[in-house]
């Protein structure tokens, strides 16, 4: 082996070393970029999960509010039905009282007329 061959081999080796170092640096830059991107995506995922938890809580509260409203509507409907029933009964009693009062008035008028005659 002569000196020129060794120098050529050494130059080739140095070029391959520089190429390998450049490739290593490129891969490191790519790893830094992907690591940064991954951290951002993980932050976004954490924010989304937090938002989902808030939405689930809000949904559960809304559903409970809906159930409460349905119970109150049912209660109001039952109360209204009872009020209607009581009102009908009172109207019936009122009409019966009016009839009775009319009959009593006529009876008194007849009795008074008989006393005057």
Any domain includes 99: no
pTM score over 0.85: no
How far is 87 from 60, CA to CA, in rounded Å?
40
Any domain includes 25: yes
Q: Which structure tokens are listed for 92?
A: 């019936």
How far is 44 from 17, CA to CA, in rounded Å?
40
* Amino acid 113: pLDDT: 84
Any domain includes 1: yes
Any domain includes 4: yes
Q: How many domains does the chain have?
A: 1
Q: Which stretch of 63-67, 77-81, 98-102, 111-115 has the lowest confidence by average pLDDT?
A: 111-115
Any domain includes 75: yes
Range of 39's domain?
Answer: 1-92
What does the pLDDT look like over 37-83, one tens digit per residue?
999 999 999 999 999 999 999 999 999 999 999 999 999 999 999 99
Give the H/E segment covering residue 76: helix 3-116
């Amino acid at each position: 082996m002569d000196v020129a061959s060794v120098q050529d081999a050494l130059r080739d080796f140095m070029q391959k070393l520089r190429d390998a170092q450049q490739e290593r640096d490129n891969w490191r830059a790519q790893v830094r970029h992907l690591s940064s991107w991954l951290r951002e995506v993980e932050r976004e995922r954490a924010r989304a999960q937090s938002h989902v938890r808030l939405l689930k809580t809000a949904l559960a509260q809304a559903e409970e509010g809906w159930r409460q409203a349905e119970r109150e509507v049912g209660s109001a409907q039952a109360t209204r039905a009872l009020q209607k029933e009581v009102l009908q009964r009172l109207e019936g009693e009122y009409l019966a009282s009016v009839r009775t009062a009319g009959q009593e008035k006529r009876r008194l008028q007849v009795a008074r007329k008989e006393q005057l005659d």
